Structure 1
Amino acid sequence: MKRTVIQDRALIRLISATYHKPPALRGLVDSDAEMEVLARIEGLTSARQRAEEGHSLSLDNRELSWQRRNNGLTVYGNSHINAAFTYARTGGSRFNTEQRGAWYCVWSVETALAEVAFHRTRELEYIGIFNNTARYVEMHADFIGEFPDITDEPDHPCLHPDPAIGYLAGQKLATELQHAGERGLIYPSVRQPGGRCFVVFDPSAIQNVRPGASWDLTWAGSRDYVVNGV
């Protein structure tokens, strides 16, 4: 496995616009004090907030990204980083188990769209209805460091296109890399030929998170989808 040094800005992670909106509960209250009470109640079932308070069995809250304040200024992106590591799909993803998430990002928006479209299409297959519009927001972040890189190993078992095969191998590899102290892994996109992806295991490796463009993906009766910039 080779190693690659990166000093790259604005790698792209796409998140559902649902998770990029102002707090849904804000319209129910008349003051910040009342909002704080509701936020505490909501936090009782929030995996992210519980992890930040030290109640996660899979994450040490000292690993997470914390709000740094300077004269009342809150650094953007901390909650997005923490959410990436505290929420995971059932069964996990290619390089993380369902106990602990990871930050997945890419170098090009075309690759990002292909990756999220695959997962959304698979969800629509489960219910057998291909009529849906989903909006995604770009989250940009910067990275500096040396990381293991398998972009020259297209036949690696973890890159098998069938999640039932590739995910098991990828989770095993990710666990081994994390035990060895690695903070992430560069790998070729399985869903976009020529695309390059980066999975980050360590929240502290993610720098300068900020929002980017928004995209609508629309399915109208079939697996094929249309992409529109918003």
Structure 2
Amino acid sequence: MTGEPGTLPDVRLIRRNDTHRLIPSKYSDGGASVLARIAGDDAHLRDIFDLDNAANERLLAENDLLPGIGIHELVFGVPFYRIVNAAFCHAHPLGSRFNGPDRGAWYAAFELATSQAEIAFHKWVELSEVGWLEEELTYDDYRADFSGELHDIRSDDRFADCLAPDSYVASQGLAEELLQAGSLGLVYPSVRRARGTCLACFRPALVMNVRKGPTYVFRWEGRAEPIVFTTT
């Protein structure tokens, strides 16, 4: 059962280097924007970027115009800061496991295989919904280090509902309570890979030493389990 309202998970000091977050390569920091492909000239490109930037949640937040997260929480001047900020500013319209639609979080896995399993599951759901069962996509592995006191629901049966495979109701409710209590984030067992461990960080400043690792190709050939390999 889920913990009673006001009952929060235990807090533990979590120190973990080389966590893995897989991000589609099309969003790679420093990469050429896909918008450049549809612009005929420099003037046209500037107009397109101005239009895109007007609705870009990360840029809105960096100008203190987004209600879910303020400029004082974002990070600047560190490697891949745009990638970090984007995770908190571009929330899914329905939210994710431990965040609502107004504010994102930095999700990462302790193990590369766990991060791959999480990506494979969620992308297959998207592909299945539109009947597109063959696809090839590339993802960049962004590694980060964490050291802080996080809430921990591993081996805590009070919050079993937060790990429901097909519902985020309980987990988003807990996340709201944690944010209101000033939580830095939480660690939890992966729902998509047995014995895997995931982390949801609520504060951009705690995503430390971000660096870009290998790029992985995910190829779906009509099955939920993709073929995964690194690019050369």
Q: TM-score, normalised by structure 1?
A: 0.87
In 1, are the aligned partners of 2:88 and 2:105 still within 8 Å (CA)?
A: yes
Cα separation, 2, equivalents of 1:38 and 1:126: 30
**Backbone CA RMSD of aligned residues:** 2.2
Q: Which amino acid aligns with 2:57?
A: A
1:93-123 CA-partner distances (Å, limit 9, x unpaired)? 1001111111000111000000000110000
The residue correspondences of 1:16-95 to structure 2 (distance < 5 A) are 16-20=24-28, 22-24=31-33, 39-66=49-76, 68=77, 75-95=78-98
C-alpha displacement at 1:51, in angstroms?
1.1
C-alpha displacement at 1:6, in angstroms?
2.0
Q: TM-score, normalised by structure 2?
A: 0.86
Match for residue 9 of structure 1 among 17, 20, 28: 17
SS where residue 178 of structure 1 aligns? helix
C-alpha displacement at 1:149, in angstroms?
0.5
C-alpha displacement at 1:125, in angstroms?
1.0
Cα separation, 1, equivalents of 2:224 and 2:209: 36
C-alpha displacement at 1:62, in angstroms?
1.0
Cα separation, 1, equivalents of 2:32 and 2:59: 14
SS where residue 140 of structure 1 aligns? strand
Partner of 1:199: 200
Q: Which amino acid aligns with 1:144?
A: S
Change (3 A) 1:34 1:220: closer
Partner of 1:72: none
1:8-60 CA-partner distances (Å, limit 9, x unpaired)? 222111101110152325686999x9988865453212111111111112111
Alignment length, in residue pairs? Answer: 219
Which ranges in structure 2 are unaligned for 5 or more consecutive residues? 1-8
SS where residue 71 of structure 2 aligns? coil
Cα separation, 2, equivalents of 1:15 and 1:156: 28
Cα separation, 2, equivalents of 1:117 and 1:131: 13
Which ranges in structure 1 are unaligned for 5 or more consecutive residues? 69-74
Deviating above 3 A after TM superposition, structure 1's stretches of 4 or more consecutive aligned residues are 25-31, 33-42
Cα separation, 2, equivalents of 1:47 and 1:150: 30
The residue correspondences of 1:185-196 to structure 2 (distance < 5 A) are 185-196=186-197
Change (3 A) 1:30 1:102: same
Cα separation, 1, equivalents of 2:185 and 2:160: 17
Percent identity for Structure 1 against Structure 2: 35
SS where residue 72 of structure 2 aligns? coil
Cα separation, 2, equivalents of 1:34 and 1:208: 37
Partner of 2:178: 177
Does 2:132 match 1:112? no
Cα separation, 1, equivalents of 2:59 and 2:184: 23
